[in-house]
Amino acid sequence: MNFSPPSERVSKAKNTNTVTEQMTKAGQKIEHSSFAIVDAEAGNKGNYTDEQWPLVRRMIHATADFEFNGLTEFHPDAMQAGLEAIAAGAPIVADVEMICVGLSKPRLSHFGVQTHQFISDDDVIETAKAEGTTRAVQAMRKAHKLGLLNGAIVGVGNAPTALLEVIHLIQEEGAKPALIVGMPVGFVSAKESKDIVAASNQVPWVITRGRKGGSTLVVSAIHAMLALAEAREKGNLST
């Protein structure tokens, strides 16, 4: 039983993330201990701001790969754009279903955020076959036709062609996502697609340089932003 004064309990609730935390105290303890280990072993974090580091830390936590302390790069407006998009309930458009499944539904629901992916839709598959393109390309084109890209957070963790198509839609068709989380993994165009995103500089982005990436990283990055958005909502993060 909690015998602390009501005012103290309210203060604790205000200053503690609840929606974006693990659901049990045991889970919270393990996660917080893991974050503390990452902080202690990461070495120089000078390349990142106080808002950027929680995202990088969570990516390291998800992969046990400290190279993301350095491989992860941010557009100067990336964190602000992502937090504003989440607060506004903007959609998340992903290249693959894995990202949508990996994101916490209660955390998304708290902000009214919905996820979308079209990689396995029949019309996407048929058009890709007919036009000799990838399903990932056609999935992003479908998202644009449905008006979902404008103001959205676009998460790409698997298909470089999806990332290249998003840049094409921005440059040629006026699409305007709020943020691109571009982290495709692989050997064919993965590195190059992320380089192109960073060079285009037309919308804010977060990328992982080189071949490393994956849907797990996109999920981790978005979860970090959700946690920061809750902290800001509670007045614990400066705007």
Hey, which residues are catalytic here? 61
Closest CA to 226 of 143, 47, 106: 106
- CA dist 208 and 191 (Å) reads 9
Residue 230: CB atoms within 10 Å? 22
Q: Token pair of 132, please?
A: 């000799």
Token pair for 207: 């990328």
Considering only CA atoms, which of 106, 204, 92, 187 is closest in space to residue 149? 92
CB-CB contact of 149 with 203 (8 Å): no
Q: Is 183 exposed, middle or buried (0-12, 13-18, 19+ CB in 10 A)?
A: buried
Instruction: Return all residues near 11 (Cβ < 8 A) that are at least 6 apart.
Output: none
